[in-house]
Copies of this chain bind each other. A is one copy, B any other.
Amino acid sequence: MAVDREDVLRAAADLLTRKATASMDEIARAAGISRATLHRHFAGRDALVHALGLLGNRLVEERLTAARIEEGDPVDAVRRLVAEAMPVSGFLAFLYGENQLYESGAVNEGWARIDERVGALFRRGQERGVFRYDLTPAWLTEALYALVAASAWSVQDGRTAPRDADRMVSELLLGGMLRRTEAADPTSGKAAHQASEKAVDPASEAVDPASGKEART
């Protein structure tokens, strides 16, 4: 017994990500409980979605803090962020897809705070000369969400192994799909990692301040 609200919300997020029009009955069934019980825990659909927003927000923010993206090398910070985000990718996928639909002050506020923190990471990477200037932090933030959500979707559908998901996201996000000429042994699983480390290496410290400020509009 003793229905776990969090489990229910997780199941709801997974289902609603795929089928946004799912009925309360379908949601209950997906969570393995009856419709009556679902209504006992959440007054209605709105309340459920709102709880979904709050929980997702809390979870994502926890992960954000756990990843300590404000510290250390920005590249590693992105990797930590992606790795931490994967376990809550279901929530992220749902919230990313539906965030503008259910307008709740508290949820949107929390989401804006998350955006700000993630965007700050990308800005920091640009200021250090590690990240490209011609891709705005806002776009990189958007792309991060989109890729995490895509990987969640891909895993949920069985097209991608769960253990590969975070690597595929962070590698694509950081290094893109082009093969680096320096990457001598791409057959190794670590090849991409070493390639991007190499790329970051020389730029890790100082960059002329002039090019930095006007590059990203």
Interface residues on A, range: 35 or more
The smallest beta-carbon distance between A74 and chain B, in angstroms, is: 10
A179 and B130 within 8 A (CB)? yes
Q: A97-B97, A132-B186 are in contact. Are A178 and B75 (CB under 8 A)?
A: yes
A70 within 8 A of B: no
Residue of B nearest to A140 (CB): B177
A172 and B199 within 8 A (CB)? no
- Chain A, range 172-217, C-beta contacts under 8 Å to B: 172-181, 183, 185-187, 189, 191-192, 196, 199-200, 202-203, 211, 214-215
A133 within 8 A of B: yes
* Residues of chain A whose beta carbon lies under 8 Å from any beta carbon of chain B: 18-21, 75, 97-98, 100-101, 122, 125, 129-136, 138-140, 142-143, 145-147, 149-151, 153-154, 157, 159-160, 168, 171-181, 183, 185-187, 189, 191-192, 196, 199-200, 202-203, 211, 214-215
- Which of B168, B185, B215 is close to A135, meaning CB atoms less than 8 Å apart? B168
Residues in B with CB closer than 8 Å to A135 are 168, 171-172, 177, 192
Residues in B with CB closer than 8 Å to A101 are 18-19, 21
A181 and B203 within 8 A (CB)? yes
Residues in B with CB closer than 8 Å to A196 are 176, 178
A161 and B71 alpha carbons, distance in the complex (Å): 31
B133 and A179 within 8 A (CB)? yes
A211 and B179 alpha carbons, distance in the complex (Å): 13
A19 and B131 alpha carbons, distance in the complex (Å): 34
The smallest beta-carbon distance between A36 and chain B, in angstroms, is: 23
A202 and B181 within 8 A (CB)? yes
Residues in B with CB closer than 8 Å to A160 are 136, 138-139, 142
A159 and B176 within 8 A (CB)? no
Residues in B with CB closer than 8 Å to A149 are 146
Residues in B with CB closer than 8 Å to A122 are 177
A175 and B176 within 8 A (CB)? yes
Q: Would you mind naming 30 contact pairs between A and B with Cβ atoms under 8 Å apart?
A: A18-B100, A19-B101, A20-B98, A21-B101, A75-B178, A100-B157, A130-B178, A131-B178, A132-B171, A132-B175, A132-B178, A132-B179, A132-B192, A134-B191, A134-B192, A135-B168, A138-B160, A139-B151, A139-B172, A140-B177, A142-B159, A143-B150, A143-B177, A145-B150, A146-B149, A174-B176, A174-B177, A176-B176, A181-B199, A185-B211
